[in-house]
Structure 1
């Protein structure tokens, strides 16, 4: 939508570390009159970037109508509102329904992307999700639970690709996840459980898929964690040799470099 001087901003807070917020989102927080933040997921530490007189409200106890009514009230008074979502707003952020409501009210908005937990985790793990001729696909998904997923995106079907996969919002269904991953990746394949990545309580645990449930129980991980699986995890942990990319291969020519003879 077209911007004006008090356009509502949907901003990505990143995975939790205040330093992993984008500069653009940081500046939005500094100039906001009101920040409505996803209090169940966004740590208050991220609010360190807010302005001196900025008001904050957690949306943990708010429904859609309350959120939209609050935004509408402040916007009508000419105030700048930032709706702060964890990670990247476009991934499990439930922002689409909020944007549709703002459009009905002719309230302009914009979206600022953020760092999602899957990428914060890979950075901490020193892992690349896409390895030449090993895996070139990353799937970000979740298992069906209280919020169902389309049949075509069932975890069973996605796991059959054996690609790199980061599974969100599924620790509560670890038993089912383990069964599915065992079938398609193998019981002895490695996976990682990334808990509260970039938070002070961060914990990344590597385990065989056959021990996924027990690993979560032993580490008392019941929420706020990703399950990451695929050959990229094994290459990272076991230090396996992989094919080198063509990008930096001295025998490979491309638009910016001629191959050595």
Structure 2
């Protein structure tokens, strides 16, 4: 019986899908994707005869039920997730239900918007003398966040931060960050990074809420915070020439 392939579609640019992910799409009989998050251009890799199903309005039971029926009919199914499936992909619950049906799955990683964003800004999250830690997190919304992971607590480390799924709560986002970071801390907001309508905003934390609200960014944007955005830091030991 065929597998279900959970494939990371990448951040948006079709050229940023992995070779393995592209191959899975090219061989797919059926592709289940989230239309509001996946760039439609990525679907062009699928055969013209493939069945394309937008899961945006479907429940977990409907999504899994459809995939099960297709696999049992001998079809190769690709469950296409934006970015990398391991970050806010809600794949555990899907995999659990598929395994109950004795259906094998394989996860193919993708390029997260977290790394597409740093690439577009030509910045490194882990700069010697500035930060050696990257925190990837979100504000609590419909999905709760454990109290120990509240943004204001994580921000106390003042490490490099990438915050997803939070621009619709920009005022609260700014307040949580300002409880730990200085107002002049550099930040950036990247909407639809690597998509044709990409928008990149740069400023400081004291400007964050106004930047987001002025452009009406409610979703599909990532917020980066930290001195890594502007500081040069120390020279890397790796290339120092002095390894004695």
TM-score, normalised via structure 1 length: 0.91
RMSD: 1.0
Correspondence for 1:150 among 146, 153, 163: 146
After TM superposition, what 4+ stretches of structure 1 lie above 3 angstroms from structure 2?
Answer: none
Correspondence for 2:189 among 178, 188, 193: 193
Mapped contact 2:31–2:50 kept (Cα < 8 A): yes
Which residue pairs with 1:205 in the alignment? 201
CA shift, 1:249, in A, is: 1.0
Report how many aligned residue pairs link the two structures. 244
**Structure with the greater alpha carbon radius of gyration:** 1
Which residue pairs with 2:240 in the alignment? 249
Which residue pairs with 2:169 in the alignment? 173
Correspondence for 1:81 among 40, 59, 77: 77
- Structure 2 gap ranges (5+): none
- Structure 1 gap ranges (5+): 236-240, 254-261
Measure the CA separation in 1 of the matches of 2:141 and 2:102.
35
Measure the CA separation in 1 of the matches of 2:216 and 2:36.
19
Mapped contact 2:124–2:228 kept (Cα < 8 A): yes
Mapped contact 1:196–1:224 kept (Cα < 8 A): yes
Measure the CA separation in 2 of the matches of 1:220 and 1:100.
37
CA shift, 1:48, in A, is: 1.1
Which residue pairs with 2:105 in the alignment? 109
Which residue pairs with 1:40 in the alignment? 36
TM-score, normalised via structure 2 length: 0.98
Other structure's SS at 1:83 match: strand
CA shift, 1:207, in A, is: 1.1
